[in-house]
Structure 1
Amino acid sequence: MPACVLVLKERASAETLYESLQDAGVPLTRVALVAPDQGDPGQGVLTPEPMEQVELLNPSIARNRRQKSMSRWLLPFGFMAGLTFTQITTLDTFSQFGPIGEALIGGLLGMGSGLMGSYAAAASVPSENEDGVRILRNRHQEQLWLLLLETPAGREVPWQLVQKTRPQQVVRLSEL
């Protein structure tokens, strides 16, 4: 889904843009307002979220989600690989546990290596949005408001309405 983040000086601009988009009937999948650290959250239409809770702006959330999804298939695969390896080799490392116990321990060790592999694989995949997220984190530290707008696939944000709010910067994150 196409996503863009607007960097704004004040919350009122974000509220005005959100109301304009609703009035225009623009379908938005997700809207998230990120307040600066020392910014006054105040009251308004949009509730500010911490930057660490917005998945598109926090690569560690995406990495954790990726790791959990990879472990769902790597754990059983690792178990079967460990079990098979124990059966086809003539190693007697755990022979004191009997043939079934030895195979079971081999499967558990394979499952553990599958878990380690899921962590390694999830950490090795870079985010496509790294540069954009770094820019946005810098703007957040400069005490600016961030407004994340996510639209359904194939739909663009109406840029005429966006330009009326005069954002300091617009960062387009890659399509997800």
Structure 2
Amino acid sequence: MGSSVVVVLSSRKRLHQLKEQLASLSPAPARLVAVGAGETAMADVDELNPSIARKRRQKGMATWLMPFGFFAGVTFTFMTDLDTFAFAGEVGSHLIGGLLGLGSGLMGSYAAAASVSSDSDDRIRALRNRLEEGNWLLLLETATGVEVPWTRLQEAKPQSVVRLGDN
């Protein structure tokens, strides 16, 4: 995707007018999502839901932390020659050490994903406050290489326009 912006509007009528105007543009925006009372819920929009972003970060981190943890657990059992899991035999002991390392990698991915706040978290919090004040939001995503129609957005007299990011 290209750019993502959220337009904050004070009336639902303006929201629908702007959405129709933007949809009729050539090229049309890649995505237009109306958010607010009677529209899509904010929690259903991935870009406006920090918990979805946190889950995505956790899964991404788990893909490399879990294998690393497994190999670190196996290496640790080889290096220390501890017989903590002697009941499982030599190979079983190393395998259990690796599985414990794998579990540690999984727990680490949750901790790391929860401790990192996204740059857009503050902007999303401000948008949520605007929504709770009775405003409506219009999420606009353009295709790669297509400029955001800034003039059209300003003509709608929005309360604010928040840039979420350029991809």
TM-score normalised by length of structure 2: 0.91
Gaps of 5+ in 1: 42-47
Q: Which amino acid aligns with 1:21?
A: L
Q: Which position in structure 2 is the counterpart of 1:8?
A: 9
Q: Which position in structure 2 is the counterpart of 1:95?
A: 86
Q: Secondary structure at the match of 1:157?
A: coil
Q: Which position in structure 1 is the counterpart of 2:158?
A: 167
Identity %: 54
Q: Which position in structure 2 is the counterpart of 1:26?
A: 27
Q: Secondary structure at the match of 1:4?
A: strand
Alignment: residue pair count: 166
The yes-or-no answer on 1:110 pairing with 2:101 is yes
Q: Which amino acid aligns with 1:172?
A: R
| Correspondences of 1:121-140 after superposition (within 5 Å) | 121-140=112-131
TM-score normalised by length of structure 1: 0.87
Query: Matched residues in 1 for 2:148 and 2:14: separation?
Result: 16
Query: Matched residues in 1 for 2:60 and 2:71: separation?
Result: 18
Gaps of 5+ in 2: none
Query: Matched residues in 2 for 1:122 and 1:115: separation?
Result: 11
Deviation at 1:4, TM superposition (A): 1.0
Query: Matched residues in 1 for 2:30 and 2:94: separation?
Result: 49
Conserved 8 A contact 1:8-1:14: yes
Deviation at 1:153, TM superposition (A): 3.1
Conserved 8 A contact 1:94-1:102: yes
Task: Say what the alpha-carbon RMSD is for the aligned residues.
Answer: 1.5
